[in-house]
Amino acid sequence: MLSVTKYFHDRLVLLLLSTNAFLTLLTVLSVLFRLQGGSESFIVQYRSNLGTSAFEPGSVDQILMFMAYAVVIFGVHTALSWRTFAIRRELSILVLLLGTLLLLLCVIVSDALLALR
């Protein structure tokens, strides 16, 4: 129980958790607001080696996976960080930083694909 209170009193951990929560919320809201356009088909992949047919169309379900991915990444990295904090603080912070990187890439990729529709 002592490690739980130490975990939530660490300022760097709280900063990274807040950043990850913000990026998760940003991903979810940006995907939801862009889906209100009513289009049935979205571009879900870009393959630069295919030439003129580089854009792969997909459905709304595939775009909604960005939201699920962001929530899963946030949950898994938070749980892993919490579990590793008792072992080593630096490892816990590294796990949160890697989660921040993945969430940032998720925001960038989802916005880029939704801008192409």
Among candidates 32, 26, 43, 19, which has minimal Cα distance to 107? 26
pTM of the model: 0.86
Contact residues for 99 (Cβ-Cβ < 8 A; gap 6+) = 16, 20, 73, 74, 76, 77, 78, 81
- Asked if residue 95 has pLDDT above 60, the reply is yes
Pair 84, 98: CB distance under 8 Å: no
pLDDT at 3: 67
Residue 67 has pLDDT above 90, yes or no: yes
